[in-house]
């Protein structure tokens, strides 16, 4: 039996609160930062993650309406957790969540499984896998935010997209041609999963890589004005609507 809205909101609030208490924030901080990041996820940042996630959830709910479809999140971590939980628990949507094998993924999975068991609530968990494992043309919301700018996964693209050719924030690593080839392959695989009409969420930097590949397919991509800053990285997240022509 599907929950009422009040029951859904209660389940969401209880889950967020339980996860905040269960997650090893010191471990997550050390994994996210160079040097000692033990105190990185302080009370203020954790509150900001929840608040920003709720705003993103409202954006996505407005864009999707009452459609109870499927969302695909690639590379999402702590910053997206409230949004993913809202999609699943409040909007009653199916969530596919892919990430790499790393300490952050391991800790998020651990905490989600414990909270799920304690509260008796089924929760989505990130899994290590390929986008090609997801059925083609099955997702009406695609999320790719701060992935192609990741300094470890795409160091050369990180420097170019953030215009960091030198200085302490530049990685100085990687081969741009190789990074771009892998990024294009990832984008193409993501677009193959789109079911129309499809909402696409990405950062302002990454959309410059996505737009040419969308145009090459003969599709249209209309962006909503403005955008919203992500809670941890601080990238401007843009939301667009993909359509076939």
Residues 213 and 220: their CA atoms lie apart, in Å, by 11
Structural contact between residues 87 and 95, judged by C-beta atoms closer than 8 angstroms:
yes
pLDDT at 154: 97
- Confidence check: pLDDT of 1 > 80: no
Mean pLDDT of 205-234: 96
pLDDT over 70, % of the chain: 99
Checking if the pLDDT of 240 tops 90, the result is yes
Whole-number pLDDT of residue 167? 82
Q: So what's the pLDDT on residue 145?
A: 98
Q: What is the pLDDT of residues 141-185, one digit of tens each?
A: 999 999 999 999 999 999 999 999 888 889 999 999 999 999 999
For residue 138, the model assigns a pLDDT of 98
Listed in sequence order, the residues at least 6 apart from 144 whose beta carbon sits closer than 8 Å to its beta carbon are: 74, 75, 186, 187, 190, 200, 201, 202, 206, 210
How far apart CA 94 and CA 107 sit, in angstroms, is 22
Average pLDDT, the chain: 95
Which string of b and e fits 144-156 if b means at least 16 CB within 10 Å?
A: bbbbbbebebbbb
User: What is the pLDDT averaged over residues 81-99?
Assistant: 97
Distances from the Cα of 65 to the Cαs of 199, 201, 220, in angstroms? Answer: 11, 16, 20
The pLDDT value recorded for residue 35 is 83
- pLDDT, tens digit, 9 for 90 and up, residues 43-82: 999 999 999 999 999 999 999 998 899 999 999 999 999 9
Residue 2 has pLDDT above 70, yes or no: no
Q: Which residues pair with 99 in a beta bridge?
A: 128
Mean pLDDT of 183-193: 98
> Residue 36's pLDDT band (boundaries 50, 70, 90)?
confident
pLDDT on residue 115:
98
Q: How far apart are CA 143 and CA 201, in angstroms?
A: 5
Which DSSP symbol is given to 164? -
Binning pLDDT at 50, 70 and 90, where does residue 93 land? very high
Domains of the chain with CATH codes: 5-244 (3.40.50.150)
């Amino acid at each position: 039996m599907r929950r009422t809205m009040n029951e859904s909101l209660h389940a969401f609030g209880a889950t967020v609160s339980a996860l905040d208490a269960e997650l090893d924030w010191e471990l997550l901080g050390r994994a996210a930062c160079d040097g000692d990041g033990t105190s990185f996820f302080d009370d203020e940042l954790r509150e900001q993650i929840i608040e920003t996630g709720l705003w993103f959830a409202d954006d996505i709910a407005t864009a999707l309406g009452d459609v109870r479809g499927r969302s695909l999140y690639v590379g999402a971590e702590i910053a997206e957790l409230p949004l993913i939980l809202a999609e699943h628990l409040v909007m009653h949507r199916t969530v596919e969540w892919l990430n790499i094998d790393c300490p952050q993924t391991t800790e998020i999975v651990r905490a989600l499984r414990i909270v799920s068991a304690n509260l008796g609530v089924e929760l989505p968990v990130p899994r290590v896998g390929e986008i090609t494992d997801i059925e083609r043309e099955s997702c009406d919301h695609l999320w790719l935010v701060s992935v192609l700018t990741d300094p470890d996964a795409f160091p050369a693209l990180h420097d170019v997209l953030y215009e960091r050719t030198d200085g302490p924030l530049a990685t100085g690593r990687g081969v741009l041609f190789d990074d771009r080839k892998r990024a294009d392959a990832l984008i193409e695989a993501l677009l193959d999963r789109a079911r129309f009409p499809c909402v696409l969420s990405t950062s302002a930097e990454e959309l410059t890589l996505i737009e040419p590949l969308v145009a090459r397919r003969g599709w249209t991509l209309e962006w909503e004005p403005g955008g919203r800053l992500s809670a941890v990285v601080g990238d401007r997240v843009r939301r667009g609507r993909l359509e076939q022509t």
